Amino acid sequence: MNENPTGFDTLAIRAGQDHDPTTGAVIPPLHLSSTYAQDGIGGLRNGYEYGRSGNPTRDALQEQLAALEGGRFGLSFASGLAAEDALLRAALRPGDTVLMGDDVYGGTYRLVSRVLAPWGVKLRIVDITDTEAVRAALAAEPAAMLWIETPSNPLMRISDIAALAEIGHAAGSTVVVDNTFASPALQQPLALGADVVVHSTTKYLGGHSDVVGGAVVLNDEELHEQVKFQQFAAGAVSGPHDAWLTSRGLKTLGIRMERHSRNAGLVAGFLGEQDGVAAVYYPGLESHPGHAVAARQMRGFGGMVSLALPTGEQARRFAESLELFTLAESLGGVESLVNYPDAMTHASVRGTELAVPEEVVRLSVGIETAEDLLADLAQALRRV
């Protein structure tokens, strides 16, 4: 056997998942213990002391996360926002600026604008799909951090990670990519030049809508130590059960993303042909403005599709008329979901520069039989 397998699916199944040395259990055990016996004072076994500072189940997941993003270090947190918060507090100081896109996850915007801003972190918003606008914004005033989310939520805008990493680095910014929508199966920001990847593992990485979690993956040793210190000192760690479920979900990420992408492509194509649909937002469509960049930096276009109905009223009715697509927040699970951003996921950014048009509906296309999904969309469109 190859000594160091590097295939994505092999890493997903094997990285950090060594058999248990004492019993040979093929699946690493779930370690629930909050504390660890010491062999004499300070005599720790493999460094384990207390559950917040270290846990073998969490360590296994962290190794798996790092391997899948092609990074040196992975850190797992209680939620995606906890991961973002630890990273932001580790990397920024009062007076520093974060430059981010106008279509980022609403919770990220809320975290910076309402939690960190009172502590002196400044936020500036730019059209991050426009690389020249980002270059100009950084030339006008540098930013300690450039925050990229691609594809973005919910309008599936695409940003050129490699170009933005170069522009960000030239201006001295730490370049962060929220890779939640693509997942490492489809897009590897560190290989494209980004410094840090963040995830809501609640979504595709966990993949089964049964666990909330987040991750930070990066290569820089010093920043890793700082984020790890935040994880330990502020304590937003993932619990062992959550880490175990996320590890299990990760093993099938590759094949799930293939099917998510295939189904979403069929859904986007179908919606594009319907008279009652005003617009379809999916980077896999050649008509999508970010299609060429997405085709270059992604290995598939993912499972998220948004659409616009002619009016907000129709959008609401469409979202409420779907039956197989469950009306719920979140995304990335095996089951299809529909979300009405204006009043659900993005209600917190209503009236701000990040507000989502009220005609837009977002679909998280699951891995069910595609024909059943198309039939559900067709019946809901007849009812709007």
Looking at the Cβ atoms of 197 and 277, the one nearer to ligand PLP is 197
Which of 105, 109, 281, 340 is an active site residue? 105
With H, G, I as helix, E, B as strand and everything else as coil, classify residue 350: coil
Which of 58, 122, 157, 203 is an active site residue? 203
Interface with ligand PLP by CB under 6 A: which residues?
79-81, 105, 107-108, 149, 153, 178, 180-181, 200, 202-203, 212, 214
Looking at the Cβ atoms of 105 and 301, the one nearer to ligand PLP is 105
Contact 218, 224 (CB under 8 A): yes
Looking at the Cβ atoms of 83 and 324, the one nearer to ligand PLP is 83
Active-site annotation holds for 178 = yes
Phi, psi of 281 (to 5 degrees): -110, 105
Question: Cβ 81 to ligand PLP, closest distance in Å?
Answer: 4
Structural tokens at position 4: 């160091």
Active-site annotation holds for 50 = no
Looking at the Cβ atoms of 28 and 303, the one nearer to ligand PLP is 303
Looking at the Cβ atoms of 177 and 384, the one nearer to ligand PLP is 177
Sign of CA dihedral 201, 202, 204, 208: positive
Looking at the Cβ atoms of 159 and 314, the one nearer to ligand PLP is 159
Structural tokens at position 179: 């890779």
Q: Which DSSP letter does residue 212 get?
A: -
Which amino acid type is present at position 230?
Q
Which of 52, 135, 248, 350 is an active site residue? 52
Which of 59, 178, 195, 242 is an active site residue? 178
Question: Cβ 19 to ligand PLP, closest distance in Å?
Answer: 30
For residue 216, give the nearest of 78, 56, 10, 51 by alpha carbon.
78
Active-site annotation holds for 105 = yes
Question: Cβ 290 to ligand PLP, closest distance in Å?
Answer: 16
Helices (H) and strands (E) in the chain, counts: 12, 12
Q: How far is CA 231 from CA 39, 126, 195, 215, 323, in A?
A: 26, 30, 19, 11, 40
State how far the Cα of 186 lies from the Cα of 71, in Å rounded to an integer. 15
Structural tokens at position 134: 């980002």
Question: Cβ 4 to ligand PLP, closest distance in Å?
Answer: 32
Stated as kind and residue range, the H or E segment containing 374 is helix 370-382
State how far the Cα of 144 lies from the Cα of 25, in Å rounded to an integer. 46
Active-site annotation holds for 36 = no
Question: Cβ 126 to ligand PLP, closest distance in Å?
Answer: 18
Phi, psi of 307 (to 5 degrees): -140, 160
Question: Cβ 339 to ligand PLP, closest distance in Å?
Answer: 10
Position closest to ligand PLP via CB: 80
State how far the Cα of 257 lies from the Cα of 121, in Å rounded to an integer. 36
Catalytic center residues:
52, 105, 178, 203
